[in-house]
């Protein structure tokens, strides 16, 4: 049976850091080979973790896929919002997570789809230009919002939510390694705070199918 847990935010930070850190490595081409230990993705029956101390939205003003400035707080105000930090060259967890969200979103009513904001913030801004982000996200869902910009700002915004993001680096063999948290933060339209946290194992479409309608209403699943 699926259960939804309620935990203190501090405990959630520790758990998320331990469970959701994903080390991904690719060569410079799209869909390159994975790192020595690619992230495992195991389907779970449990739903998102409900936080007893919700997170405020990060103060992020970045660049969207049209090259325009995007103020995350202002642009998503009053909208149910899913926020994920990742990068387009990720070989496994990032595309799977975004695909899962896209599948679940497609099953919502048109009205609910219009309300929902799905925001993908790159952790690899040197390679993820607005053009590259736009191309990649169109393959997931054209309505998804992609943001890029200064790495330090992105890292600070992620850390304010307990999401670990580290600079990419190149190994001697040429592989590029990027380490980032795989959490999805769900923000309520009622108070613009993140009340629910998902890790890589519990973003299965079947779980999101059940929980997204409640999140869109501003309710905890």
Q: Which of 144, 154, 148, 155 is nearest to 131 (CA)?
A: 148
Q: How many helices (H) and strands (E) does the chain have?
A: 7, 12
Q: Is the pLDDT reported for residue 8 higher than 70?
A: no
pLDDT at 170: 85
Percent of the chain with pLDDT over 90: 70
Over the stretch 139-165, which tens digit does the pLDDT of each residue have? Answer: 999 999 999 999 999 999 999 999 999
Q: Distance (Å, rounded) from C-alpha 60 to C-alpha 52?
A: 24
For the chain, give percent helix, strand, coil, nearest 5: 30, 25, 45
pTM: 0.82
pLDDT at 22: 52
Q: Which of 144, 96, 147, 157 is nearest to 116 (CA)?
A: 144
Over the stretch 86-133, which tens digit does the pLDDT of each residue have? Answer: 999 998 899 999 999 999 999 999 999 999 999 999 999 999 999 999
Q: How confident is the model at residue 3 (pLDDT cuts 50, 70, 90)?
A: very low
pLDDT at 17: 41
């Amino acid at each position: 049976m699926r259960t939804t847990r309620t935990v203190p935010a501090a405990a959630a930070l520790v758990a998320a850091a331990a469970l959701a850190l994903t080390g991904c490595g690719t060569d410079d081409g799209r869909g390159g080979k994975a790192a020595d230990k690619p992230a495992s993705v195991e389907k779970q029956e449990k739903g998102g973790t409900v936080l007893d101390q919700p997170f405020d939205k990060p103060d992020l003003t970045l660049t969207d896929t049209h090259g325009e400035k995007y103020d995350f707080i202002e642009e998503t105000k009053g909208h149910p919002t899913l926020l994920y930090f990742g990068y387009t060259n990720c070989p496994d967890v990032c595309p799977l997570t975004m695909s899962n969200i896209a599948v679940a979103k497609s099953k919502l009513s048109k009205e609910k789809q219009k309300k929902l904001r799905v925001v993908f913030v790159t952790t690899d801004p040197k390679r993820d230009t607005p053009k590259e982000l736009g191309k990649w996200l169109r393959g997931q869902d054209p309505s998804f919002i992609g943001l890029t910009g200064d790495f330090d700002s992105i890292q600070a915004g992620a850390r304010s939510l307990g999401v670990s993001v580290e600079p990419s680096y190149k190994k001697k063999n040429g592989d590029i390694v990027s380490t980032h948290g795989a959490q999805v933060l769900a923000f309520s339209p009622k108070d613009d705070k993140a009340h629910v946290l998902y890790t890589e194992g519990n973003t299965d479409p079947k779980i999101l199918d059940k929980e997204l309608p409640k999140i869109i209403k501003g309710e905890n699943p």
